[in-house]
Amino acid sequence: MRPTRALLSTGLLAGVLAAGMAVALAPTASAGTTLRASAAEKGRYFGAAVATNKLSDNTYVTVLNREFSSVVAENEMKWDATEPQQGRFNYTGGDRLVSHARANGMSVRGHALLWHAQQPSWAQGLSGSALRNAAINHVTQVATHFKGQIYAWDVVNEAFADGGSGGRRDSNLQRTGNDWIEAAFRAARAADPGAKLCYNDYNTDGVNAKSTGIYNMVRDFKSRGVPIDCVGFQSHLGTTIPGDYQANLQRFADLGVDVQITELDVMTGGNQANIFGTVTRSCLAVSRCTGITVWGVRDCDSWRGSDNALLFDCSGNKKAAYTSVLNALNAGGSNTPPPTTPGSPTTPPPSPTTPPPGTGG
């Protein structure tokens, strides 16, 4: 109720003002205090990659449960982990993560059904139809095991080449025929019709030859009815972010797929907090960007080692980058980019296929 002139002229004035102040000072619905609450207010999830052997570390779990509403297995759902011997499946790590997620109100991203890296040695030794059949069986078995538990699967990971070709990466899977990706998506859909099915890759953070190659594949899949629902942008970033980061997300969304930031980490340095903020604002500005996942919890958990590329320091304290993300989530709406350079980062992040020495697996 708006105070009337009469009210304001009475002794009620102080009370009305006090009430108004209280409303103004109280946390508003949009002023979340954790990443997961603030993202939820914007209809998004905020996730982290988890190494399940860290689920016994109190500091790690405290931060994970407080701040994140989605998890993805850093390694435990990959082919070498889930099918170490052909036809013999091991879901121990994946199941542990899923149960942690369920107990803590988190969704799960599945990563990754097929990838040229982290294949079990028996698969590395196969080719042709033997490999194709084994790969499709792997997709079917793993997606069936986790059926109903996975929000989105990275069905195929990193299948496009770096550099200017815009074409596929050579791999044993690619040599089974160009249709291996669509075969994988069809098998995943049949096994778990409720999961969103994503293609996921890195160095796709702006409009470039690689992202355009993927864009053309997604457009082709949509036109031919190949079941694809989303594209993951890993976003392992250096010290700059392409100026067309948001526009690139938007062009994919305009094809009729969701987009997700799937493995975000950013090289430390003056721009780190700004870049994290820009990624967050870009996602919020694209209505089909459904969430952001950072690739680890604390700097010391990161595959990038001394890059200090994450939102929490090694003791679990919030960094400036954290505040930048939280503020961006709470502000929402506009997307004011920080200083950017067009095209590729001037200080490139490490190639995701070659982890720095001293980091896992």
Binding mask 233-262 for ligand 9MR (x = CB under 6 A): -x----------------------------
User: Token digits for 254?
Assistant: 């305009």
The span from the CA of 71 to the CA of 217, in Å, is 27
How many degrees, rounded to 5, is the angle at CA 168 between CA 163 and CA 174?
140
Positions of E strands within the chain? 45-50, 70-73, 107-115, 152-157, 196-201, 230-233, 236-237, 258-266, 289-294
The span from the CA of 101 to the CA of 105, in Å, is 6
Q: Is 263 in the site for ligand 9MR (CB under 6 A)?
A: yes
- What's CA 331's distance to the chain center, in Å? 21
Pick the closer one to ligand 9MR by CB: 10 or 353: 353
Q: Count how many Cα atoms sit within 13 Å of the Cα of residue 149 in the half-sphere of its side chain.
A: 21
Q: Is 352 in the site for ligand 9MR (CB under 6 A)?
A: yes
* Annotation says 263 is catalytic: yes
Pick the closer one to ligand 9MR by CB: 149 or 203: 203
Choose, by CB under 6 A, the member of 146, 215, 245, 303 that binds ligand 9MR.
303
The span from the CA of 361 to the CA of 302, in Å, is 12
Closest approach, Cβ 356 to ligand 9MR, in A, equals: 9
Give the dihedral of Cα atoms 77, 295, 118, 164; nearest 10 deg: 130
The span from the CA of 20 to the CA of 54, in Å, is 46
Catalytically annotated residue among 76, 83, 158, 182: 158
- Name the burial class of residue 119, with classes exposed (0-12), middle (13-18) and buried (19+) by CB atoms within 10 angstroms of its CB: buried
Q: Is 32 in the site for ligand 9MR (CB under 6 A)?
A: no
Residues 42-81 that bind ligand 9MR (CB under 6 A): 74-75
Closest approach, Cβ 282 to ligand 9MR, in A, equals: 20
* Annotation says 83 is catalytic: no
Choose, by CB under 6 A, the member of 84, 164, 333, 361 that binds ligand 9MR.
361
Binding mask 273-292 for ligand 9MR (x = CB under 6 A): --------------------
Closest approach, Cβ 88 to ligand 9MR, in A, equals: 22
Q: Is 355 in the site for ligand 9MR (CB under 6 A)?
A: yes
DSSP 271: T
Binding mask 79-118 for ligand 9MR (x = CB under 6 A): --------------------------------------xx
Pick the closer one to ligand 9MR by CB: 151 or 202: 202
DSSP 207: S
Closest approach, Cβ 117 to ligand 9MR, in A, equals: 5
> Which of 162, 140, 166 lies closest to 153, judged by CA?
140
Pick the closer one to ligand 9MR by CB: 67 or 263: 263
How many degrees, rounded to 5, is the angle at CA 350 between CA 114 and CA 291?
60
Pick the closer one to ligand 9MR by CB: 67 or 74: 74
Pick the closer one to ligand 9MR by CB: 270 or 361: 361
Closest approach, Cβ 234 to ligand 9MR, in A, equals: 5
* 281, amino acid identity: R
Binding interface with ligand 9MR (CB under 6 A) = 74-75, 117-118, 157, 202, 234, 263, 303, 352, 355, 359-361
Active site residues: 158, 263
